[in-house]
Amino acid sequence: MSPSALSITASSVDPGLLSLPWATPLAEWPSSTIVYLPKGISRHLVRFANLSGRVVAIKETTEEMARREYDMLGNLHRLAAPCVERVAVIAGRTDAAGEQLPAALVTAHLRFSLPYRALFTQVLRPHTATRLVDALAVLLVRLHNVGFFWGDVSLSNTLFRRDAGAFAAYLVDAETGELHEGGLTPGQRAHDLDVARTNIAGEIMDLEAGGRLEGGIDAVQVADGLVSSYHSLWAALTDKESFAVDESWRLTERVQRLNALGFDIGEMSILTTTDGTRVSIQPKVVDAGHHQRRLLRLTGLDVEENQARRLLNDLDEFRARVSRLGADEEMVAHEWLTRVFEPVVMAIPFDLRAKLEPAEVFHQVLEHRWYMSQTRGRSVPLAEVLTSYIDDVLRHRRDEATVMGPPTDTVSLPVITGAMPVADDDEQGVDWRDLV
């Protein structure tokens, strides 16, 4: 088939798209083109491929569905919703015999992300399951907040990135989604929650059937945990609050609570009673990424929300240690970046830098320093901490920039080698074995 027969829709066309074997069914693409990565369960055939030095996901589907999802991902990206990046829609495919082939949706592989099945080695531990559903609850709240009705909420349709001991969730399948400019009705939100609860319980039970669930985990309880987390966060973002007019400090307190959750208020509805004795407030425009934006403004580092929170805490501690409390915040941030953050990141051997994002490495080094200091009963020099972390922890992890799996895309888990040290990962008692 001549490349000219193809119809390629893309905001920025990569010439490398023309060199991919579109005249061959996706299931038969040669191993020289395919990248073997762990992936979630999908109703469509999905494979990963090399494209101009990066990895993309290719999904065969109908042309109508491919174009619809392509447009939806573009709209979500403009709304700053956490989702994969669209690359192209490929239509007009035919094989060597002139038979039509399905259209394909091409999306960029989200670096350092993993499907939920690849986030554990042998069994899923209770606290790992809790962190996954909490991350999915945050994602669902953020999507609902911009008027997106998902329609098929599940762990399988989500990718997870490590976020300073927690996870950040990204939407990876938007083919059933709808965007409503006027916002979602309570019924639409409830429907998404009901679907999420059913799907998650089923996915956890599937792990149990495969012997990959630690004893004591209740699949229904895990699924109910998502619903509970969602309701708590949604209420914090949207509930109307009433207080006496002389309690205006509660307005500041509401903003600070939302900031602590990682959200900024862009607009708020404030009403007073006719006699002027009481005030009611309700957030109207709430944007996620409060700590991300502050860290980006101060240092230029673009990281996940919890990572930003952790790095900002270290920056503030640095500011106190060097007695610069009255100094310009941007100047102190630059000094922290060049004297603290960058030396830690640059100390990581080149061959180990694909294992974790720099911000996650820095977070884990801080955690490792805390554990070493607790064990020895004294402060441990950072150089010693780095050596221990690199040799005892980081060197034994698999690469996560693009996690390679075994030479078959029917196996969900990537190959894992090396013995893992057993040590807590964070204050919540996360086992390093959960974070391989």
CATH code, domain with 169: 1.10.510.10
**Is 135 found in the same domain as 78?**
no
Question: How many Å apart are CA 170 and CA 276, to the nearest integer?
Answer: 45
Domain C-terminal end among 55, 77, 109: 109
Given 238, 257, 280, which residue is the final one in a domain?
238
User: With contact defined as beta carbons under 8 Å apart, do 245 and 276 qualify?
Assistant: yes
Partners of 49 in the β-ladder: 34, 56
Tokens matching residue 424:
């807590």
- CB-based contact 261:236 (threshold 8 Å): yes
Location of structure tokens 């992890």: 397
The answer to whether residues 241 and 282 touch, using CB atoms and an 8 Å cutoff, is yes
Asked if residue 322 belongs to a domain, the reply is no
Residue 407: per-residue pLDDT: 36
* Residues 105, 195 contacting (CB under 8 angstroms): no
User: Nearest Cα to 73, choosing from 153, 175, 146?
Assistant: 175
CA–CA distance, 364 with 388 (Å, rounded to integer): 12
Do 228 and 125 lie in one domain? The reply is yes
Same domain, 10 and 70: yes
Q: What pLDDT is recorded for position 38?
A: 62
How far from each other are the two terminal CA atoms of the chain, in whole angstroms? 44
CA distance 142 to 288: 7
* Alpha carbons 22 and 4: distance in angstroms, whole number: 12
In this structure, are 105 and 218 located in the same domain?
no
Enter the DSSP assignment of 341.
Answer: I
60, 89, 109 — which closes off a domain?
109
- Whether 432 and 405 map to the same domain: the answer is yes
> Of 348, 333, 429, 341, nearest to 394 (Cα)?
348
Of 279, 195, 289, the residue nearest 244 (C-alpha): 279
For residue 434, the model assigns a pLDDT of 33
Per-residue pLDDT of the chain (436 residues; tens, 9 = 90+): 444 478 999 978 788 898 999 999 999 999 889 887 766 666 788 999 999 888 999 999 999 999 999 999 999 999 999 999 999 999 999 998 889 999 999 999 988 888 888 776 556 677 888 889 999 999 999 999 999 999 999 999 999 988 888 889 999 999 999 999 889 999 999 999 999 999 999 988 888 887 777 776 888 999 999 999 999 999 999 888 888 887 878 888 888 888 888 888 888 888 888 877 788 888 877 888 889 999 999 999 989 999 999 999 999 888 888 766 567 888 889 999 999 999 999 999 998 988 888 999 999 999 999 899 988 888 888 889 999 999 999 988 877 666 544 333 333 323 323 332 333 333 333 332 333 2
Classify the C-alpha dihedral 11-16-22-25 as positive or negative: negative
Here the tokens at position 334 are: 């630059």
37 within 8 A of 404, measured Cβ to Cβ: yes
Does residue 185 share a domain with residue 129?
yes
E strand or H helix at 283: strand 278-288
Helix, strand or coil for residue 317? helix
The alpha-helical segments, DSSP class H, found in 175-282 are 186-209, 219-238, 249-260
**Residue found under tokens 């919703």:** 81
My answer on whether 233 and 178 are in the same domain is: yes
Residue 423 lies in a domain: yes
Whether residue 302 is contained in a domain is answered as no
Residue 328 domain flag: no
Residues 6 or more apart in contact with residue 300 via CB below 8 angstroms: 337
Provide CB contacts within 8 A for 113, sequence distance 6+: 159, 160, 161, 170
Q: Are residues 232 and 205 in the same domain?
A: yes
Question: Do the domain assignments include residue 248?
Answer: yes
Long-range contacts made by residues 366-374, C-beta under 8 angstroms, separation at least 24?
A: 366/310, 366/314, 367/165, 367/425, 367/426, 368/393, 371/423, 371/424
What is the CATH number for 53? 3.30.200
Q: What is each CA distance from 157 to 134, 195, 225, 253, 381, in whole angstroms?
A: 15, 12, 18, 36, 43
Judge contact between 72 and 149, C-beta under 8 A. Answer: no
Residue 206, domain member (yes or no): yes
* Rounded Cα gap, residues 360 and 380, in angstroms: 20
User: Is there a domain that residue 330 lies in?
Assistant: no
Enumerate the β-bridge partners of residue 213: 124
Domain membership flag for residue 78? yes
Q: How far is CA 125 from CA 15, 113, 222, 418, in A?
A: 44, 19, 11, 20
Token pair 């102190």 is at which residue? 332
**Closest by alpha carbon to 21, among 40, 45, 3?**
3
Residues 31 and 69 in one domain: yes
Distances (CA, A) of 322 to 15, 143, 389: 51, 41, 26
Largest CA distance in the chain: 80
Name the domain count of the chain.
4
Does 49 share its domain with 157?
A: no
Domain boundaries, position 221: 114-238
The confidence score (pLDDT) of residue 241 equals: 86
pTM, two decimal places: 0.77
Same domain, 232 and 119: yes
